[in-house]
Structure 1
């Protein structure tokens, strides 16, 4: 922005100060009109209207306040949030005409808000304000339309198809040279392979188009959280329930605490719990790693563990005991006395999941801690095994894994 003149005053008060003071109220009024007049905006999830759309409305009002306060010209940097918002709406399928109409509604309401107390002697400032508003509208329309169309071109670009072909070739185990010859893309030297399970966002349960919009928004935010951590465009096959993400990495492999923090960040940005299995793989090893990651996720979720990042080393016992073995039936039979007492099985597994913390177990199951103690004593009486004896603890864990592997009873929270 470049300063050109003195601030404008209307109604005896600087226009910029009035705009800033009235921004929250004007934002609510703009959102109400968007919902009432534009079906595309009425279909958006309430969280998005109150979040992203409200935020971009207030930002536009602040930009206009800066314009009229210092008689400034709008630059590209000032409209970066509007361009980003337009790209997001393009990904969500909101029509371009609805977006441009939304900005026109905002400009119109901003005009009415600033001139409703104009005095006859302020005509010069009113005309100057009108000229500034037209300049802002022209800049907004150009920036928003260009960003929207760029986003649509990106969504439809042939390169995305090429990356999909590259991912398919890696999953099929094709040699690197054959992949490059067929797709024109060279595989990375190594990948961080993430297998993701995504919980549903509450907005996905709403009827109508809100569910699909919420699902697309969740995936967009997930990709935005992961993408800055790759040296090349990542390869993904994702749907609202989860899927695969292959992140090309450089010579230095990321530390697992950093990957754990990345998954936590992605869950925060997507506003949904994420359970992930991760491993490093060279191109030739991708199929095996993907298969093993899927097994890790199965064991983690089957064992009632919470969201977060899991490695193969986190489930070594479960993995080994879930392999076909003559010992599995015998291990599973250790808990046969609990077959008709699902409340005891549930309490036992929850108790072990929480590291034998009776209070955490009670809170999870909505029980009194004394009830947990009673049930654990009953488990010991019926099975002869106590989770509070080290030797028995290993056997109980193994028995629960064996039951899950064999599909016996109701073992598992």
Structure 2
């Protein structure tokens, strides 16, 4: 900091007696011209803002009179007030304008007490004032934005926790009506997942949730945190646009499907999966299950997750899936003692993944050997040979309706995880 002349110090000293007057002038009159200032509580203006003004004016004058003043603690009150204003919701532009206007009023006060011949002293103090302004404005803006970011992060975490409780059924019914999701009647529950390679691909490379930390398997492998968050924001935005409302969603890049709740009973657009896939930059599956009200959301969420897994497990192409689309497969995939025994029928070919894949594709293509061969890039005779080996090892006769149903149930029970 450059040396302050005696004339500049004398000028600052003449202004020191006016500190309280300047604080009252700024907090009551000068700041009144700022848009929105008149809506602030009188206690805030007359006590907190006035005290901050007094601190700022005294800090400046003491720096002029004693240059070593203004160490690390000099910005503490400004930072505390900035964090408080952020928490109270004061707009940042109003906060920064009040600081800028306060500097200008202080400059006017210096001019008012200046005497003829004080021109050079005024220039010195103007330099000091501008230097102080950039430091204060920087500290205030930084603290305000940090506090708003922390508050927003906390708000999102609370909403995620509440939404997760609603979806999982751990949120008490008494709290449902009070929570900020706008869900007080019929709604749609969605499960969203990345289409993966193989029957269990959705469960292994799911896209969903607004979680801050996420690993990115499948198509997102190697994706950085910033890119992952941008991708999730695009999916959330596309979801909101598809339904014309803000859709509460848990979107993440984890191992489980993502979930969302659409308030109201509106039908989803037929191209929902395509639009979300375009936003995600990868192929998605979307399961849609209606719920009559908030109390039915947990069961609908479980069903949607199962529909998503079953649709992938039985070889349906990626897109939008409903329970009716996989009704038989959904029923056949229910667990239990009999289910475990049916799944075990395929144990003899568990060490031959190419046989299991051939069986899955063959059933998905209506047992059309040529369509199966085309899908797998094989000769039809190779498909026949593989199917024969499956029948030989397992004893399941794929030429009969009973054998076909048994094979489908066994596949689903083996490769679709229990919900």
Partners of 2:176 and 2:294 within 8 A in 1: no
Q: Deviation at 1:167?
A: 1.9
Secondary structure class of the residue paired with 1:367 = coil
User: Structure 1's 189 and 336: CA in aligned 2 closer, same or farther, altered over 3 A?
Assistant: closer
User: Which residue in 2 is equivalent to 1:247?
Assistant: 262
Contact 1:263 1:309 in 2 (8 A): yes
CA distance in 1, matches of 2:380, 2:245: 52
Partner residue of 2:190?
194
Output the CA distance in 2 between the equivalents of 1:380 and 1:157: 56
**Does residue 266 of the first structure (1) align with residue 276 of the second (2)?**
yes
Residue 339 to residue 223, structure 1, CA distance change in 2 (3 Å): closer
Whole-angstrom distance in 2 between the partners of 1:269 and 1:406: 28
Q: Does 1:280 align with 2:280?
A: no
- Structure 1 residue 356: Cα displacement: 2.1
Match of residue 216, structure 1, among 225, 229, 249: 229
- Rg larger in 1 or in 2? 2
Shift of 1:341: 4.2
> Is contact 1:279–1:289 with CA below 8 Å preserved after alignment?
yes
How has the CA–CA distance of structure 1 residues 404 and 226 changed in structure 2, closer, same or farther, with 3 Å as cutoff? closer
1:124-175 Cα deviation digits (max 9, x unpaired) = xxxxxxxxxxxxxxxxxxxxxxxxx9xx979938865664465245234546
**Contact 2:398–2:407 under 8 Å retained in 1:** yes
Return closer, same or farther for 1:178/1:369 CA change in 2, 3 Å cut-off: same
State whether residues 335 and 413 of structure 2, in contact with CA within 8 Å, keep that contact through their aligned partners in structure 1: no
Deviation track 1:242-283 (CA, whole Å, cap 9, x = no partner) reads 522111125xx31xxx44421221112221111222211111
Counterpart residue number, 2:400: 389
- State the Cα deviation string for residues 87-112 of structure 1 (Å, max 9, x = none): xxxxxxxxxxxxxxxxxxxxxxxxxx
Separation in structure 2 between the aligned mates of residue 308 and residue 192 of structure 1, nearest angstrom? 17
- Deviation larger for 323-332 or 280-289: 323-332
2:176 counterpart (145, 169, 179): 179
1:247 partner SS: strand
Structure 1, unmatched stretches of 5+, are 1-148, 408-413
Report what 2:240 is aligned to: 227
The residue that corresponds to 2:198 in the other structure is: none
Write the deviation string for residues 257-310 of structure 1: whole angstroms up to 9, x where unpaired.
Answer: x44421221112221111222211111111111122223333344455543222
Provide closer, same or farther for how the CA distance between residues 308 and 177 of structure 1 changes in structure 2, counting only shifts above 3 A.
Answer: same
Aligned residue pairs total 248
Alpha carbons of 1:153 and 1:260: their partners in 2 closer, same or farther (altered >3 Å)? farther
Q: Contact between 1:176 and 1:187, CA under 8 Å: does it hold in 2?
A: no
SS in 2 for 1:216: helix
* Conserved 8 A contact 1:195-1:278: yes
Deviation at 1:367, TM superposition (A): 2.2
Which segments of 5 or more consecutive residues in structure 2 lack a partner in the other structure?
1-144, 195-204, 206-215
User: Does structure 1 retain, via aligned residues, the 8 Å contact 2:309–2:416?
Assistant: no
Residue pairs, 1:115-194, within 5 angstroms:
156=152, 160=156, 163-164=159-160, 166-171=162-167, 172=169, 174=171, 178-181=175-178, 183=179, 186-194=182-190
Q: Structure 1 residues 330 and 263 mapped into 2: Cα distance closer, same or farther (>3 Å)?
A: same
Query: Which residue does the alignment assign to 1:59?
Result: none
Distance 1:155 1:360 in 2: 56
In the TM superposition, residue 177 of structure 1 has moved relative to its aligned partner by: 5.2
